[in-house]
Amino acid sequence: MNWKCSWLVGLAFAALAPAASAQAYPSRSVTVVMPFVAGGVVDVATRAVLEEVGTRMPQPILVDNKPGAEGLLGTQVAKRASADGYTLLGTAQYLVTTPMLRTNPGFALSDFTPVAVIGGGPNVIVVSPTLPVKTLKEFIEYARARPGQLNAGTGSRGGSVHLGTETFMHTTGVKMQTVPYKGSPEMIPSLINGQLHFALMPAAVAAPVVKSGKVTALAVGAPVRVALLPDVPSIVEAGSPAETVAFPWYAIVARAGTPAPIVARWNADINAALRSPKVLERLKGIGVVPTSMSVAGFEEMLKDEQARWAKLFRERNIRPE
Q: Record the pTM.
A: 0.88
> Which regions of the chain are under pLDDT 50?
1-3, 5-22
Q: DSSP letters of 39-101?
A: TSHHHHHHHHHHHHHHTT-SS-EEEEE---GGGHHHHHHHHTS-SSSSEEEEEETHHHHHHHH
Contact predicate 220/226, CB 8 Å: yes
> What's the confidence (pLDDT) of residue 234?
95
> What's the confidence (pLDDT) of residue 23?
58
Distant-in-sequence, close-in-space partners of 111: CB < 8 Å, separation ≥ 6: 79, 255, 256
